[in-house]
């Protein structure tokens, strides 16, 4: 059962946000407290599956050898075979553009050391290092799961942002997505809600509304 309080906040946000010439995302601004994020072990990096999706296309790339490349073709947005990794890594501008174009990446497990060594400097800081999958496996299910996911990533700062959908989604569905993020976040924080200073929800260019 979706929390009516969250539904009411989303309805107010949608009512009071001006119409734009583009479809705005609905975003969370989360502020933590009493947690030392300079210590990497306290940082959070989670992919949360949003029950109602992101409301827009989420792009997924796959690093895979010939067998996996065939399976990923037509399902993934981009497929990178092993021999292409070095070419990509040798052109920093091209590598940065590549990293920006994908929201998530998957890779056959044996390719992870090479990807880390050659592309880690580009993908790592952006929180886009690939998730390893078994060699030759079918990546379709993983790709579809990631298309409905959002990355919850703190880095070393207590304030961070993430999208939970788009403004045109029904308020109940946005509230369910918001609730899914809150539950995962509190489960990962050492003191749960006690580590949260405040949470606001807003559209891309609209006013903020306090959630907690």
Per-residue b/e over 28-58, b at no fewer than 16 CB within 10 Å? bbbebeebebeeeeebbeebbebebbbbeeb
Structural domain range at position 83: 60-146
Domain stop point among 114, 146, 178: 146
Domain stop point among 130, 146, 162: 146
pTM (2 decimals)?
Answer: 0.85
* For range 160-180, the mean pLDDT: 96
Would you place residue 19 in the very low, low, confident or very high pLDDT band (cuts 50, 70, 90)? confident
Q: Which of 146, 104, 141 is nearest to 126 (CA)?
A: 104
Range with lowest mean pLDDT among 48-52, 66-70, 180-184: 66-70
Strands in the chain per DSSP E: 25-32, 45-49, 60-63, 78-80, 104-108, 131-133, 149-153, 159-166, 196-203, 208-210
How many structural domains are present in the chain? Answer: 2
Would you place residue 196 in the very low, low, confident or very high pLDDT band (cuts 50, 70, 90)? very high
Domain stop point among 117, 146, 175: 146
């Amino acid at each position: 059962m979706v929390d009516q309080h969250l539904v009411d906040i989303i309805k107010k946000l949608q009512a009071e946000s001006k119409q734009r010439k583009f479809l705005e995302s609905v975003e969370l601004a989360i502020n933590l407290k009493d947690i030392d994020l300079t210590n990497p072990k306290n940082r959070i990096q989670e992919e949360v599956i949003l029950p109602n999706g992101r409301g827009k296309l989420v792009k997924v790339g796959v690093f895979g050898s010939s067998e996996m490349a065939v399976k990923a073709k037509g399902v993934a947005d981009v497929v990178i075979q092993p021999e292409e990794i070095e070419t990509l890594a040798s052109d920093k501008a091209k590598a940065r553009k590549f990293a920006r174009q994908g929201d998530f990446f998957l890779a056959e497990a044996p390719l992870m050391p090479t990807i880390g060594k050659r592309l880690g400097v580009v993908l790592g800081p952006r929180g886009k290092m690939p998730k390893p999958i078994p060699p030759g496996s079918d990546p379709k299910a993983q790709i579809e799961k990631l298309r409905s996911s959002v990355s919850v990533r703190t880095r070393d700062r207590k304030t961070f942002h993430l999208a939970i959908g788009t403004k045109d989604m029904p308020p109940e569905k946005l509230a369910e997505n918001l609730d899914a993020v809150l539950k995962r976040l509190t489960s990962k924080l050492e003191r749960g809600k006690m580590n949260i200073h405040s949470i606001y929800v807003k559209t891309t260019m609209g006013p903020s509304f306090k959630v907690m």
